Chains A and B, each alone.
Chain A
């Protein structure tokens, strides 16, 4: 966990510095008062100040923290990959089919469910998403190349 805290503190310092640099390119004052760069600049200064304090705190507690990764992290990564694949399928297959497939596959990944129950859940979910969100709630979900 210490390395994760360390990386987070470094990222926070970089973020604060980037915000200061980017906001200093915006006008600090306008004709009648503060300009668009006024608040972002001070927010950047604040982020950098906090990040430095956090960085010092992290350096002080070296070796006193637990593991960042837990036994369930592996499953979490699998689910993340499944979500990414689902989102990549949206332009091709629309929303209903990929979200239905995701529900079924994720159930299989997460729990000890049989393929048959996962398949039925996937099918019911796809149909429900299509009719509930697309038809009943009138959300213009993209249909993809298969037209569903």
Chain B
């Protein structure tokens, strides 16, 4: 009954005209961002965040959530029609989606992506409603040692899901932690790495770094390597969007499996929607009776990853709302938003701000429904946006990034800092240093350090506090296994090779 009552509260907030407007704007912006190359959900939210200082936090959050799951829908259009993922989470959709488009079934591919995303997204909201409050109650038992261990595990999981050089992932994480320590130490009041500059005493604001490292860096990277695209020349009619019975039968279980995989991957810190879509595609291919069809235009190859990425984008709110731990760069930027509005997400949020939490959750039903309608009836309009020249788009990114950085402290120093971080992000991307670990560590850095210091103060400097509390121990073990996972995989591979040699 509690759940229904909370949902009633949520809908009474989400269905006000103002929040409906913010939800509509959010999903529309998300859809457009997904279609346009060179700009992603974290960039868009980071650029818009400073503009919401004066907006009601619930409305702003509803809009940002709409952008987040809207991007996953929008990215599908470019994946199917021009074989270029609008978002990293739609990379897997290119494989079979573009092949379907070449065979004249672009409409069906876009249709199953929209329907699958809607079904999996809505189911994920239902599960989120049940799971997030339970996770919050669980989180109430957490002390500083559990929070430090959880952050330690989240950083470790980046090496599992990061997909790049583990050493560079750890380096990038440490760089984020280093940036988080800049400024006055909250306990002793001593300045750290401020070099006598008063602008650095308060630390470097997260928005300044994000606007540079995602916004301006992306501008330089996109200018240097423009995406070559070739639009599938097909005039799409409404009837092309209808699925055949065979296509529906082939996709229905792929949607269920993709949705379930997406939900659980979204719950894991650092799991992310890209990993969810990747794993869903691989699982679908492995499960299929005809794996050879994958890569040639199998509709399940579109349904599974699309359902997974939408499901994961919604379940990713559970650790953010219930524990205050972001699982992806986008939720990390949203955590910065919470801080900007003076709200601390975590176990108590469900008790102190139930209207905000349930309003946000209820808005996801509305947003997903709006996106379904947009994706079934407005695809030609979004395809037309592919004609927007990057030369014009780039100017707007620089404008939003500059004004966003300036508005934090009304200080030009921050604008120059933002440009500096833009160049850092550009160089990091060129040299294959991942940016996501830096961002997550930057956001969680203060929490991790404060929890570490509180824990060691409580234990009189003994590290045993992390190993004597069960949840803390569990997170530490998971973190250590994650950090050493590249070595473990390497060892397993060596053993398998050695065994294969012995048997032959």
Contact = CB atoms under 8 A, between A and B. Distances in A.
B395 A70 contact: no
Contacts of A90: 412, 415
How many B residues touch the partner, as a band? 35 or more
Main secondary structure of the interface of B (DSSP, over half): helix
A140 interface: yes
Given A33-B457, A90-B412, A95-B403, A5 B171 contact: no
A50 B174 contact: yes
A34 B453 contact: yes
Interface in B450-479: 452-454, 456-457, 460-461
B242 interface: no
B352 interface: no
Contacts of A137: 51, 54
Contact of A76 (B168, B185, B223, B395): B223
A69 B170 CA distance: 26
B190 interface: yes
A111 B403 contact: no
Interface string B374-403: 000000000000000111101110110011
Nearest to A52: B167
Nearest to B427: A8
Nearest to B458: A33
A133 B396 CA distance: 13
A100 to B, nearest CB: 9
Interface in B387-445: 389-392, 394-396, 398-399, 402-403, 406-407, 410, 412, 415-416, 419, 423, 427, 430-431, 433
B399 A84 contact: no
B54 A107 contact: no
A11 B464 CA distance: 36
Contact of B415 (A38, A79, A87, A107): A87
Interface in A131-148: 133, 137-142
A8 B431 contact: yes
B220 A50 contact: no
Given A26-B192, A80-B220, A102-B395, A4 B461 contact: no
Contact of B181 (A1, A40, A75, A125): A40
A125 B399 CA distance: 9
Contact of A139 (B170, B407, B460): B407
Contacts of B433: 8
Contacts of A91: 412
B487 to A, nearest CB: 13
Contact of B456 (A34, A51, A75, A141): A34
Main secondary structure of the interface of A (DSSP, over half): helix
Contacts of B457: 32-34
Contacts of B454: 33
Given A36-B188, A107-B392, A139 B453 contact: no
Given A102-B395, A113-B391, A139-B403, A53 B167 contact: yes
Nearest to B399: A99
Residue from the set A36, A57, A129 with the largest chain B CB neighbour count within 10 Å: A36
A72 interface: yes
Nearest to B410: A140
A17 interface: no
Nearest to A106: B395
Contacts of B394: 79, 106, 110
A79 B230 CA distance: 26
B484 interface: no
A22 interface: yes
B175 A110 contact: no
A83 interface: yes
Interface in A71-113: 72-73, 75-76, 79-80, 83-84, 86-87, 90-91, 95, 99, 102-103, 106-107, 109-111, 113
Nearest to B412: A90
A111 B181 CA distance: 42
A109 B216 CA distance: 17
Contact of A111 (B219, B391, B430, B456): B391
26 contacts: A1-B431, A12-B171, A30-B187, A30-B188, A33-B453, A34-B461, A35-B188, A39-B181, A39-B452, A39-B453, A40-B178, A43-B181, A46-B174, A50-B170, A70-B224, A72-B223, A80-B220, A87-B412, A87-B416, A102-B399, A103-B398, A103-B399, A107-B391, A121-B395, A125-B395, A142-B412
Interface of B: 50-51, 54, 165, 167-168, 170-171, 174-175, 177-178, 181, 185, 187-188, 190, 192-193, 216, 219-220, 223-226, 389-392, 394-396, 398-399, 402-403, 406-407, 410, 412, 415-416, 419, 423, 427, 430-431, 433, 449, 452-454, 456-457, 460-461
Given A4-B430, A38-B452, 14 more contacts: A4-B431, A33-B454, A33-B460, A34-B453, A34-B457, A40-B181, A54-B168, A72-B224, A79-B223, A86-B402, A87-B412, A87-B419, A106-B395, A138-B54
A-B residue pairs, 5 tightest by C-beta: A33-B457, A103-B395, A110-B391, A36-B185, A111-B391
